[in-house]
Structure 1
Amino acid sequence: MPRKADHVARRRQLADALMRLAASQGLEAVSLRHVAAEAGVSTGMVQHYFRTKDEMMTFALDMVMRDAQERITAEAAAAGRALTPAEFVRTLMIQILPLDEPRRLEGHVTLAFLAYAAVKPAIAEGLRGSTDQMHTFLAGQIRAVQATTGTAARVDPVHAATALLALVDGLGIHVLSQHYSGEQAVAALDAHLGLLFGSTPDPPANIPPADTTVDPPAGIG
């Protein structure tokens, strides 16, 4: 068991180093050698855990998604009750927005990964699967909201999920570029959810508001 735990911890250490480099330099400038230097280990150590840069990048993106899922689960638990579909949609979208330092780092990594995937068909294919899962889940939640509020005729859930993901991705880019503040992004999201659901879902009780005032890490943005 300790060996397995050490193995997971080491892979996470290397993925964290990759994320820091990707956020500050972009993925094209990142190599196994650069990651080794950032993590304070040998290149051979990196190659022991990841055979290629693409393999390491895929692991890092999976880690970003797992961390986001853990935060969503923690927020749902903090509410002390089951979230409504509308609340869950808002919670999920808020976690995608780069509203604090960890999410800013994740946002930069995701953006760099998308640019990299644009010229790497194999990477793009794997990313498409994750996006499809998110889209399907969102459409299901929107459909559940419509069923309970009588707004089913307003918009197709599939199209609504597509628009919502595009909105949050766009807002995230503008926040990372410091064109919009975190508060402006959340206000725009809530306005859209109000149009979509007929009213804006309130943040679940007992959950502290997102930190929308943290400055980007040095060298980013």
Structure 2
Amino acid sequence: MPRQVDHDLRRRQIAQAVWRLATRGGLEHVTLRQVATEAEVSARLLQYYFGTRDRLLLGALEILNADAEQRAGQRLAELGEAPGMRALVRGVLWELLPLDEERRTRHLVYAAYFIPFVTDPALASAARDSPRALEDLVSGLLDQGRQSGEVPPEVDTEAESAFLVAGAIGLQTSVLLGQHSPEQAVELIEHRLDGVFAPSLG
């Protein structure tokens, strides 16, 4: 009887090979053959699962994003039943910081995608057209905070969410480069949240 293949597991095996190559030397010049060798699969099998190089890079990123979303959900669930909007916003922003080895590795992979997304037209289009899910999530949490009185009514939730996410992403880079420590990054996030969740001016 032929052995049953776990296709999701095989796709993950290939995606993990992409991630390892990304953290070791970037993705600009990574080839399908290199990924196949790293994943210990044939080039034919790799093409069966992903097809082209662009589809491989995007597919590996989708798996990484799904993992990140699942882990973030677990950490937010650990905050308890009613953690408050500030704690939830903080939790979302912390997922953008390399605060432990898991998140550090993930953000190194994300960093490796930056140059291909900027220079490759097909990948750039995929990145540009992707929804601003994090900004929308933070904006929605701030809106809920405004309704509950945790966020002052004069706060522009859309502008603040864009600034908070952009700031956390900037801190992500500076922590990876050693310009800020994880603790300093957390303190800066808290400083900005102090302003967003400040008492109303009215």
Q: Give the AA of the match of 1:151.
A: P
User: How far apart, in 2, do the equivalents of 1:22 and 1:54 lie?
Assistant: 14
Alignment of 1:136-215 (within 5 A): 136-147=136-147, 148-149=149-150, 151-153=152-154, 155-198=155-198
Deviations 1:86-132 (A, max 9, x none): 21111111112111222112111112212211123332333234442
Checking the alignment, whether the CA contact within 8 Å between 1:104 and 1:176 is kept in structure 2 is: yes
Q: Is the 8 A contact 1:68 1:96 kept in 2?
A: no
Q: If the length of structure 1 is used for normalisation, what is the TM-score?
A: 0.81
Cα distance change, pair 28–11 in 1 and its aligned pair in 2 (3 A): same
Secondary structure at the counterpart of residue 96 of structure 1: coil
Residues in 2 aligned to 1:137 and 1:74: alpha-carbon distance in whole angstroms: 16
Q: Distance in 2 between matches of 1:3 and 1:161?
A: 46
Residue identity in the other structure for 1:98: P
The Cα offsets for residues 172-206 of structure 1, whole Å up to 9 and x where unpaired, read as 0011111111111111111111111128xxxxxxx
Q: Distance in 1 between matches of 2:194 and 2:153?
A: 15
Equivalent pair of 1:76/1:82 in contact (CA under 8 Å): no
Rg larger in 1 or in 2? Answer: 2
Structure 1 vs Structure 2 CA RMSD: 1.9
Amino acid at match of 2:19: M
Task: Report SS of the residue matched to 1:27.
Answer: coil
What secondary structure sits across from 2:126 in the alignment? helix
Three-state SS of the structure 2 residue aligned to 1:118 is helix
Question: Quick one: percent identity of the two aligned structures?
Answer: 35
5+ long unaligned stretches in structure 1: 200-221
How many residue pairs match? The answer is 196
**Per the alignment, in what secondary structure is the counterpart of residue 28 of structure 1?**
coil
